Amino acid sequence: MSNEVRVRYAPSPTGNLHIGNARTALFNYLYAKNAGGKMVIRIEDTDEKRNVKGGEESQLNYLKWLGVEWEESPNKGGEYGPYRQMERLDIYQKYVDELLERGLAYKCYMTAEELEAEREAQIARGEAPKYSGAHSNLSQEEIEQFEAEGREPSIRIRVPEDHTYTFNDIVRDDITFESSDFGDWVIVKKNGTPTYNFAVAIDDHLMNITHVLRGEEHISNTPKQMMVYEAFGWEPPKFGHMTLILNENRKKLSKRDEHILQFIEQYKNLGYLPEALFNFITLLGWSPVGEEEIFTQEKLVEIFDAERLSTSPAVFDPAKLKWMNNQYIKAADFDRVVELTLPHLIEAGRLPKDMSEEDKKWAHELISLYQEQLSYGAEIVELTELFFKQEIEYDEDAMSVLEGEQVPEVLETFKKNLQELEDFTPDNIKKQIKAVQKETGHKGKKLFMPIRVATTGQSHGPELPNAIHLLGVETVTVRLDDVLSKLQN
């Protein structure tokens, strides 16, 4: 086996890139880069019924968007290709033929109905269901009879008797299986395509894969793959099985969890930053030394240590992801924040597609008010709603502010001062608020809160003079008149 670390991410093109697969890819990427090794992407497409058009493209595009780079893949090539399993069928056949010749595999002609009947009988007897080996030693006459009936055979590998399989897992230390737990299993289906565990073992060996990091659901696959390695006298790679990702209710994260977005594409479309998602996903089942949680990709490559992969399930916390993305947005270049948010304002019909320079300037000023509090790009639509409403409905908190006895005086004075302004700028608006304080004697919350609630409809929000400036003098005047009218009735 190569001294160079070589890992692989090997998705099936059955759908878009989701959180679990992305984590597998990220951990393999970090492991390889930390060790100065290489990452291979191999497409495991032998289950053609489940393959989805565009599935491979989605996997690769969104991995690249996240910041994952690889050295070998179907679109990059490499010396160990092809990198799609359906393009490697002739390679697998060579090894199938060898196992058949050596008597380590055999053809099984049992039908699906016969296999199911065998399984049901075993369950009825209280036995763990597994293939009985009924066709493991067919005579030539029996083979000819089955073929005369038109039966298509599958090919099964002979599982050694009384054999113990132990591997030292990177995450879980020693894991042991007994060969008696397995019946002879299918390595080639009746349609001629190899099964997952057979093809994977062949590919990992021929591609010089040294380390396999994957989800814990693959633990039970490992002894089967070890059987293939053993049959050919090969050294298996080092395996590491990552724990489950749980939702907030500590249930296994499922594509049916509607309150948690599952796919990387969804986060991109909502205006999450790829480096934030990279950071967040890396911490799902891996922890660095210390309390720090915000890391650049380069830093994660530098500090990644597989020994710190968790043995406990990771909990996907959407609130923490929002917090983390907010940290990245706050630190981002403003032009990038505009790129994240402006399309959402346009899509919501808040802004026209073809904006004048004046419109663009206004939109940029609006977005800048919310950069500090944005959790993701699409949130800008909800946050800026007050700037696009014709009428405001005041909630209980707002009404309690407006019921103060000083409110009419404060608002009347503020309205008068605004009307006298020649240049409606944030600085001048701020000066007029201070002037209201001097004229009325009201200050602090008794001054600012009525003005904020009357003009924006909110008791909390962005810098008040900036918000009033963007609303415009006409809108602000209408809102002040409306509130004063309601207070007089």
Give catalytic residue positions: 255
Distance of CA 433 to the CA centre of its chain: 47
Please give the structure tokens belonging to residue 403. 């019921």
Q: Are 209 and 1 in contact (CB under 8 A)?
A: no
